[in-house]
Amino acid sequence: MIYRAGQTVLVQGITGKQGTFWAEKMIAAGTKLAGGVNPKRAGETHLGLPVFGSAVDAVRQVHCDIAVIFIPPGMARDAVFDAIEAGIGTIVVLTEHIPARDVIDIHARLRDSTSRMIGPNTAGIVTPGEGFIGIMPGDNPNVFKPGHVGVISRSGSLGTLICLNLTRAGLGQSAFIGIGGDPMIGTTTRDALEALDRDERTRAVALIGEIGGAMEEQAAEYARRMRKPIVSFIAGRSSPPGKKMGHAGAIVTEGGGSYESKRRALESVGVRVVDTPNELATYLANLPAEQAA
């Protein structure tokens, strides 16, 4: 789930407005695009890349490590199914508002496959200096620069702010993993934490969570065994109980998902939880140089 230079990306929905815009940005950042998918324009070229009728057709002709989905909600399930059938290892699903029944079907299909999904409703993944996949400003050196802090975030906007602060603090990022804000996602906070723990470039982790669900509490169980320092910011501290926030997954239910329970779980295993996003970069900048510089 961490993008590496040389990995090839298939853009499903490349000829649409958003697909075109972000494909150009990805190319500018160094991401290696293998081509795109649009059944109605198969055989054409777009942005100098081949357009295929399906992901299955694409992998018969080009190598694809990752698929990214720029497809409307009602058609997203079939696009993910296509990428799974093609055997593509990582599928980045940017689409939000996918019907719940369709998301359940996607998860069922994933269980019988070798594919991993990031999202739905993710902003994508970024490896500064190598490339990005999704709708993050991965081509902007004022926001992203190579460094040693791995960033995990449900929110793309909060993730961008944290990465901007890290860059301004002179730290940079080893990788950004946007897990997505929907309640049924393929890659969890714990999954992303494990990936950064294994990553040799990552020396410290910035974990941006929010109220709702239990992913931060579950991640805390793994964080207990990590030697890399982790600092966290949890959004939604002032939200009243039962309030639905910007993400579909940010709903506090009785007995779980609250700001207090998440903070308590993380602090109990040695994770530093800060009160504001700006404090996160400041805290990491003050760690010993060998840990986060």
Q: Is 97 a catalytic residue?
A: no
Written as six digits, the tokens of 81 are 């199914």
**Amino acid at site 139:** D
Q: Which of 46, 63, 148, 247 is catalytic?
A: 247
H or E stretch including 9?
Answer: strand 8-12
List, edge to edge, every strand of the sheet that includes 124-127.
131-134, 124-127, 173-178, 146-153, 204-210, 230-235, 272-274
Report residue 235: phi and psi, to 5°.
-80, 150
Q: Are strands 66-69 and 8-12 parallel, antiparallel or unpaired?
A: parallel
| Other beta carbons within 10 Å of 78 | 15
What are the start-end ranges of the E strands in 29-179?
A: 32-37, 45-46, 49-52, 66-69, 90-93, 116-118, 124-127, 131-134, 146-153, 173-178
Query: Residue with structure tokens 């700006």?
Result: 278
What are the start-end ranges of the E strands in 70-170?
A: 90-93, 116-118, 124-127, 131-134, 146-153
Query: Residue with structure tokens 């065994």?
Result: 225
Catalytic residues: 247
